[in-house]
Structure 1
Amino acid sequence: MAYDAEDTRRRIFDAAAAEFAEHGLAGARVDRIATAARANKQAIYLYYGSKEKLFAAILRAKLEEVRVSVSIDPDAVAGSVGQLFDWYQEHPELIRLLLWEALEAGYEPDESERERRDGFREKVHHLVDGGVAQHLPEDARVRAAQDLLFTLMGLIAWNFAVPRMCRVVLDEETDQAALARRRETVIEAARRLATTPDASKAGSRSKGSGG
């Protein structure tokens, strides 16, 4: 059978993603990745250069995956947040990778930070162009959209970062029950956060005049 380089890369990537999610960057072992991927260590270094670069490549790919799979629709923020909540529930490895990065990678900017900034700038401008924070002066809209985006990300991610705490605080017996409650709460919170003050006042006036 001919050697399939792309298949080898895919197996290494999948095995390394699982290894890093479980053990972090420092605790991950290239030997275990090679065994799980049915590849040799030389192939890992050939394709990715180092364990650190492999971790960075996986995190970058996972972030790109969620970016492509789900976007925040300015006209339907609550629905988009529900979809994003579901994506994180189906892909718990991303939260674990981000937590490991925060614990182990330090605070100095790395070569991937510019790429990430560009990706989030694109999302923010999509929100602004779609009318988010339109009640604010033009120079304040970008900042408001940035804050909204990060707040929504936090509302979603914290549920999966501390699932036991979620279960305990909500006094639920299972993670599934706790997450089902949180999903509805997060969607409603997103709807309220994305509602401009002007729209809220207009809604209140129309209800009052309808007597």
Structure 2
Amino acid sequence: MTEHAPVTVLAFDTAAPYCAAAVLSDGQLVAQAEEPMQKGQAERLMSLCDDLLTSADLSFDALTAIGVGIGPGNFTGIRISVAAARGLALGLGVPAVGVSSFEALRYGHDGPCATAITARREQLYYQRFDGTDAEAPILVPVQALPEHAGPLFGATGRAPTFPIAEAIARLAADRYKTTTERPAPLYLRPADAAPARDAPPVILP
């Protein structure tokens, strides 16, 4: 008789000023951490993941799937996590599942609701859910939230049911068998960095 191989998911997110990760094994949370930080996620992410796996007596080779937060949020932070997830998935030969911050905030609530994420400049990233359907996410002023049914989760609303990395892990565990696309960043506005104004150098004949 073949012994059951546990479904083990490593999930992480750096779309906001933190480095968050969680390990889920057969539906049970076995390790998680969230470290606030304005910068340094690129240097900390993989060591944090390694620390959590070690604390759970697991290795990267034990992973069934990778879950990653795709934003919206900090432009550079999102790229850090998505690139790490793609690299791990390729190296380990496992699927990587992208999960939006909206989905993670809503996880655990099945009815109508809305989700909001701080977007700076007195704005919010916002998405409304009507049962199982979701409207397209938008960028709105803090003082002009659209009307919605059910609770609001996230910025200016209630705290989510699950910590961000755990929610991503649970959603990835539900979806990894049917995932067909690689994770891709969810950007709702251009990056803050502006292109250089100086003219490019010219090679003289």
Query: Does the TM-score normalized on the shorter chain lie above 0.5?
Result: no
TM-score when normalising by structure 2: 0.30
Which one has the largest radius of gyration?
Answer: 1
Larger RCO (alpha carbons 8 Å, 6+ apart): 2
Higher helix share: 1
